[in-house]
Amino acid sequence: MARLGLLITSDCFASQTLSSVLCFAKAALAQGHQLDHVFLYQDAVYAVAAEQDLPADEPDVSAELCQFCQQQQIDLLFCVTAAEKRGVISPSRPAKAGYIAAGLAEFAMRQANIDKLVQF
């Protein structure tokens, strides 16, 4: 079985990206694959904003993904530079709990530990 990394680059609130990632991750694990990490980059970093105000009838898929990754012990990383550049995080505005700040260098080094990278 393969060891996978997941890369999310698209805006998670403009599409069903996080739902697709969550479904894919569950299916991959069910088929015996391993997930090394999930990395949010570019507009996907909007999902780590702690101050999200979602409508009451809309599920918080960002929190669901975080909970899933914690249960499965999968590192859930986001590009700190992309988040800072977009105003998602700052010294007075931390990231949502469970998301780990990382840089592109760390992301690049993790590619040596996986067989395939799947981008959403």
Q: Which residues are catalytic?
A: 79
Q: Would you state the structure tokens that stand for residue 79, as one six-digit string?
A: 């590009």
Number of alpha carbons in the 13 Å side-chain half-sphere of residue 64: 13
* Distance, CA of 40 to CA of 46 (rounded, Å): 9
* Residue 74: DSSP 8-state: -
- CB 3 within 8 Å of CB 33: yes
* Distance, CA of 40 to CA of 48 (rounded, Å): 9
